[in-house]
Amino acid sequence: MQYLSDILTSPYLYSSALTLLLLLALKAIIGHFITQQPLAFFSFYCQRLADKVNKSSNSARQQNISGLIAVLVTLIPIIAILWLFEIFIEVQWLWHAFLLYFALGNFGLTKANKVIARELVANNTYQAKQKVAPLLLRDTEQLSPLGISKACIEMQVLRSSQLLVCVGFYFLFFGPLVALSFRLLLEMHYAWNIKIYRFVHFGAAVNHIIKLLQWLPSRIFALLLLLGTVGQNTLLYWRLIRGKFFQTNNNILLHILSLGLEIKLSGVAMYSGNKVRKASFNDHARQPQTTDIIHASKRINYALYILVLLLLLIGVTSYSISGLT
């Protein structure tokens, strides 16, 4: 209890909560006008680095070691430089906000999915594929309107969890450098994803790291998604998904969303020309339709709004308790 009291009365907590709220608002505004990610250059660097050091002629163990070394030699110098640079910064909160801006994802996914859904309704499948391709890791050339709808829904819930919830969680409780470290690891995970055959071994290290780091914040997000099913069969849904709660993957997010929308999600997908069979969820339900993209966005945003309210509550509570002590 004393430890919890120390956290709540810490000036850092409510200042971090305020900074996070302001940056979330800023990102929400910017997301309506700018879709370009500020870390696009870092993603390009990761791809070029993999081209240099990930040799197909190496054994699986050598590729695993190369992947781990690539993570270390990329992340450690960046964080060390930023940590040393912080010593010279007079306005700490502005520096923290700057780092958080780069760490957070944007709120443009809802807008992007609405545009894609509009193209599908107008039967402009080609245009829909062109718009969804930059947002997905999987191949999009052969996707049907059904496949595009499913991919959009899965992409939004996973990226919202990783780029917003997880980053915000680590900023709030561990600081901006940890939040930025997580985001950089996430970009490496995207660039070296093990679903792509050439990165099965090279990307294994960063894949395990990301799975462990996102476990707690993604479970918080999953519970809020489950809260959005109140009025349906919430208790039944919990019994169906609770076995996935302590797994280290994000299957629980997809399962909850598929149950809430009463649709089937995940399954087979193509990555760089190779078919990858993934777990499917709610197999006996119908296939997703274009309108389900909008319904999924509403459920995801509902969970994010609740998180913002919880963040505001944490900030107000911390400020109040700190003022009384």
State pLDDT tens for residues 259-311: 999 999 988 888 888 888 888 899 889 999 999 999 999 999 999 999 999 99
Contacts of 233 (CB under 8 A, 6+ apart): 259
Whether 86 and 95 have beta carbons less than 8 Å apart is answered as yes
pLDDT, residue 6, reads: 54
Q: What is the mean pLDDT of residues 203-229?
A: 95
Instruction: Find the helix or strand (DSSP H, E) in which 171 lies.
Output: helix 167-174
Please write the tens of the pLDDT for every residue from 71-117.
999 999 999 999 998 888 888 888 999 999 999 987 888 889 999 99
pLDDT, residue 268, reads: 87
Cα 48 to Cα 45, 51, 70, 270: the distances in Å are: 5, 5, 12, 23
C-alpha 220/C-alpha 307 separation (Å) is 9
Q: Is the pLDDT of residue 229 over 70?
A: yes
CA dihedral sign of residues 216, 222, 224, 226? negative
Q: What is the mean pLDDT of the chain?
A: 89
**Which has the higher per-residue pLDDT, 321 or 163?**
163
- pLDDT tier, 7 (very low <50, low <70, confident <90, very high otherwise): low
Which residue is associated with the tokens 């707690």?
216
DSSP helix/strand/coil, 278: strand
Label residue 11 exposed, middle or buried (CB < 10 Å: 0-12, 13-18, 19+). exposed
Contacts of 293 (CB under 8 A, 6+ apart): 113, 114, 116, 117, 120, 149, 152, 153
- How much helix, strand and coil, in percent to the nearest 5, is found in the chain? 70, 5, 25
3-state secondary structure 243-277: HHCCCCCCHHHHHHHHHHHCECEEEEEEECCEEEE
Q: Is the pLDDT of residue 2 over 50?
A: no
- pLDDT tier, 1 (very low <50, low <70, confident <90, very high otherwise): very low
pLDDT, residue 88, reads: 84
Q: Is the pLDDT of residue 225 over 50?
A: yes
C-alpha 298/C-alpha 219 separation (Å) is 19
Cα 322 to Cα 15, 92, 305, 313, 316: the distances in Å are: 11, 20, 26, 14, 10
pLDDT, residue 3, reads: 45
Contacts of 323 (CB under 8 A, 6+ apart): none
**Amino acid sitting at position 50:** A
DSSP helix/strand/coil, 91: coil
pLDDT, residue 277, reads: 86
Please write the tens of the pLDDT for every residue from 115-138.
999 999 999 999 999 999 988 989
C-alpha 14/C-alpha 11 separation (Å) is 6
pLDDT, residue 9, reads: 55
Please write the tens of the pLDDT for every residue from 32-69.
776 667 788 899 999 999 999 998 888 999 999 999 99
* DSSP designation for 134: G
